[in-house]
Structure 1
Amino acid sequence: MSSCLMIGAVALALSGDRFTLEWTHSVEKIEWREEWIVNRRGLRLLKAWVKGSGAGMEPGPNAVRDGDWWVWRPNLPPQPELVLAASGATPSAWLLCDGDDCREIGAEPGEAITLRPCPES
């Protein structure tokens, strides 16, 4: 089953119902990754990974070590949208991946980028 994700005003057809976001923290320079699922109720965070800890980068309470990563399953309700800062202060853009297809978003300073499920047609 495929889903659709709005990135700002652009619709992106996903190959399934999941995508990952990856980025490097602007201050701590620590890598972070999240797996999200898209459905009618919103965006639900399934799993998170972080390669260390620091200011605002602490692993979740049930995190376990897997190689270089701390991995856990956050317990959050579905979110209607995600707002990603595009400050230009981070060492890399946000990397949004749908399977093996990845694209950078927010590489240049500018307005925040909003991700949300596509409106139902």
Structure 2
Amino acid sequence: MAVCLATSVAAAVVAADAFTLAWTHSIERVRWEEAWRVEHGGLVLERVRVRGHGAGMEPAEGAVLRDGAWVWQPRSRHAVLRLTRSPYTADYEWCEEGGPCVPLAALIASDGDVTELRACPGGSAAP
């Protein structure tokens, strides 16, 4: 499987069956982690972990407090994930299962606007 990433100026393909996106909320300074799976031409949000809550970060109904973080399993399916990347906040982190986390900029440069993620057509085609 593969994930296609695209901005207005660049495109990249990352081989991945699953990955985690992590970031720190710009106001609350709280870490947010979303575990995603690539499945049947889409992205499935498997699990969310939030180390606290605040403005726009309320735990979902059914969330459980586990090891200091609220955790829940939305299992929602998405054709496209749009990430707003600003030069005024820290970048998203891309974490592969069992591997280190790297800034998203290590995979694709930001254009200061939106980066789109989607399952690559056929599992490995370019975006």
Tell me the TM-score range normalised by the shorter chain. Answer: 0.7 to 0.9
Matched residues, number: 115
Unaligned runs of 5+ in 2: none
RMSD: 1.8
* Pairs within 5 Å for 1:28-39: 28-39=28-39
Match of 1:89 in 2: 88
Deviating beyond 2 angstroms after TM superposition, the runs of 4 or more aligned structure 1 residues are 106-109
Measured after TM superposition, the shift of residue 102 of structure 1 is 2.8
Q: Is this contact kept in 1: 2:41–2:121, CA < 8 A?
A: no
TM-score by length of 2: 0.82
Matches within 5 A, 1:8-19: 8=6, 9-14=11-16, 17-19=17-19
**Cα deviation 1:13-59 (Å, max 9, x = unaligned):** 12xx2110000011111110010010224101000000111111011
Please state how far the C-alpha of 1:109 moved relative to its aligned partner: 6.4
Structure 1: stretches of 5+ with no match in the other structure: none
Higher relative contact order (CA closer than 8 Å, sequence separation 6+): 2
TM-score, normalisation: structure 1:
0.86
More helix by share: 2
